[in-house]
Amino acid sequence: MFTVPVGSYVRVPASNSHANCHKVCRCGHRKGLEHCRSMKCTKHDSCIVGAGHIHDHGSKFHTGCNRCVCQAGEVICSKRQCSPVHSSKDGLSGLPCNCPAIYDPVCGANGRTYHSECMARCSGNIDFLRGACKDYDPCQREPCGQSFKCLERRRVCLSTDSKVCKQYECVSLSLVCNRHHHDPVCSVGRIEFNNICQLWASGKDFAHRGHCKDTCNMVGEVCGHDGVTYYNECSAWGQRMAVHYEGQCKAVGTIALVGGDTYCEGIDCPVLPVELPVEHCSYYTTRGMLSYLCK
């Protein structure tokens, strides 16, 4: 028995008689699986690597400096550029495809912000825009037409097709709502509705997705632990995301490009109850990039 968060997707066996066939389902608000879709059945073939080395399906191993997995007879590996034996590692960044350790973000068609154009191309994403995804307004070009209202709905998709991975939702202005469609939203006055259509039909202003919370702050952008900037604390909580610090998420280049005394400049950590230790900003590096942490 496994427990998964509401709103997440899980892979489950399609039936007891077909061990290699699965379906993807969404954990609904009624604590059950819904909107299931069948996946292509997979074979559990082994992989042959190099001079006759056999790896079972699902097994993980290393080829040089890269981590690999055997998936249905196919070897899938990371794309780090390995240093030749007995040679210097100078010139190798340690990043996939040996991309430079710089932060010059691009927004992929899959809704994901990549550290650089090189990282996007290395991931197979050749359709992207300059800058972070959060800097673009998906409703600016009015993609929904006159009979619908465009509402931002950011997400990251497995597909790299921007037509499939839309970053917005089109809501009908006819105000004929499906009361059985459960996708809770909260109004500016902290009134909860079953879906966005019902909220607009009532004449209320949209505040955030998810259930209304009485103790959160609706004023001021915050950075979530997932590195996404939310409109306010309530918006983050509505998506079951804890707040990292106040303001937009900050990301900079390599740690060598930033002065040590200015790492946490402009980072406002949340104010905690008096009985808890005061949170302070610190920093850490991931793949050569500098990130912030309130602790």
- Cα separation, 126 vs 117, in Å, equals 9
CATH 3.30.60.30 fits 213-295, yes or no: yes
CA atoms within 13 A on the CB side of 65: 15
* 140, 123 contact by CB (below 8 A): no
| CA dihedral for 182, 186, 190, 191, sign (positive or negative) | negative
What confidence tier does 55 reach under pLDDT thresholds 50, 70, 90? very high
Percentages (nearest 5) of helix, strand, coil residues in the chain: 10, 30, 60
Convert the pLDDT of each residue in 153-182 to its tens digit.
888 887 666 567 888 989 888 778 888 888
Which amino acid is located at 280 in the chain? H
Q: What are phi and psi of 277, to 5 degrees?
A: -60, 145
Convert the pLDDT of each residue in 66-91 to its tens digit.
889 998 888 988 877 776 654 444 55
Convert the pLDDT of each residue in 251-262 to its tens digit.
554 443 444 444
| CA-based R_g, the chain, Å | 23
The pTM of the whole model exceeds 0.85: no
Degrees, nearest 5: CA angle 112-113-118: 110
Give span(s): CATH 3.30.60.30, the chain. Answer: 213-295
* 228, 134 contact by CB (below 8 A): yes
- pLDDT: is 36 or 18 the higher one? 36
Q: What are phi and psi of 115, to 5 degrees?
A: -60, -30
